C-alpha cells in the first residue's frame, strides 16, 4: 500500500508543478483573453451553435447527429456531476498561491474537467457523422483542455480524466445509438 501512496504522491507533485508552470506561462494579457474566450465558448455556446449550424446546413441529415450529441451531452453532464461531487477536489488556484484564476468557474470542484469532457465527447460524435469537421473541432477541443489548466481552474489530471471520460461516453453511445 505504501508504494501506491508514494506513486500517488509523486503524481500529485508533478500534477501541481505542471499546473503552476502552464498557469505562469499563460499570464500575458492577449493569451489570457484568447483562453478566456475559448473557455467561455466551451461552456456550451460553441457546441449549441455547432448543433444549430448542422441543422441549418443539413436540415434532413443532421437530426440524428444532433440528437446523438444532445444525448451524449446529457449523459456527460450527469456523469461529470456525480464524479465531481464525490471527489470534491479543490481547484488549483484555491489551494496553491502560485496559481492565479484566469476565469470564473461554473462550480466549486476541479475533478474532472467538464469542459474537456464535453469537448472530447462532442468532437468524437460530430466527427463520426461529419469527418470534415475535425479541422475545427479537434483544435478547439485541444485549446479548451489547455485553457482549463492555463487559467488555473484545473490540474492536468482533471483534464486528462475529463477527456478520457468524454471519450468513453462517446464510444459507448455508439453501441446504443
Could you state, in order of their start, the residue ranges of all structural domains in the chain? 2-176
Q: CATH assignment of 2-176, given 3.40.190.10, 1.10.606.20, 3.10.129.10, 1.25.50.10?
A: 1.10.606.20
pLDDT digits (tens, 9 = 90+) for 35-69: 999 999 999 999 999 999 999 999 889 999 999 99
- Widest CA span in the chain: 58
- Condensed to tens digits (0 to 9), the pLDDT of residues 109-140 reads 899 999 999 999 999 999 999 999 999 999 99
Q: In angstroms, rounded to a whole number, what is the distance separating the alpha carbons of residues 148 and 162?
A: 11
C-alpha distances (whole Å) from 50 to each of 13, 140, 168 are: 38, 12, 21
- How far from chain centre, in Å, is Cα 95? 21
Report pTM: 0.91
88: left (phi over 0), alpha (psi -120 to 50) or beta: left
Amino acid at each position: 500500500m505504501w508504494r501506491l501512496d508514494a506513486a500517488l504522491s509523486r503524481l500529485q507533485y508533478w500534477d501541481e508543478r505542471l499546473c503552476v508552470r502552464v498557469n505562469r506561462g499563460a499570464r500575458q494579457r492577449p493569451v489570457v483573453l484568447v483562453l478566456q474566450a475559448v473557455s467561455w465558448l466551451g461552456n456550451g455556446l460553441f457546441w449549441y451553435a455547432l448543433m444549430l449550424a448542422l441543422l441549418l446546413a443539413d436540415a434532413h441529415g443532421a437530426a440524428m447527429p444532433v440528437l446523438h450529441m444532445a444525448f451524449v451531452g446529457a449523459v456527460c453532464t450527469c456523469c461529470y456531476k456525480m464524479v465531481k461531487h464525490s471527489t470534491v477536489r479543490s481547484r488549483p488556484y484555491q489551494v496553491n498561491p502560485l496559481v492565479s484564476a484566469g476565469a470564473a468557474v461554473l462550480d466549486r470542484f476541479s475533478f474532472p474537467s467538464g469542459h474537456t469532457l464535453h469537448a472530447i465527447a462532442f468532437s468524437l460524435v460530430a466527427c463520426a457523422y461529419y469527418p470534415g469537421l475535425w479541422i475545427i473541432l479537434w483544435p478547439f477541443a485541444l485549446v479548451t483542455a489547455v485553457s482549463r489548466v492555463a487559467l488555473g481552474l484545473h490540474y492536468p489530471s482533471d483534464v486528462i480524466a475529463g477527456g478520457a471520460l468524454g471519450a468513453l461516453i462517446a464510444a459507448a453511445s455508439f453501441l446504443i445509438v
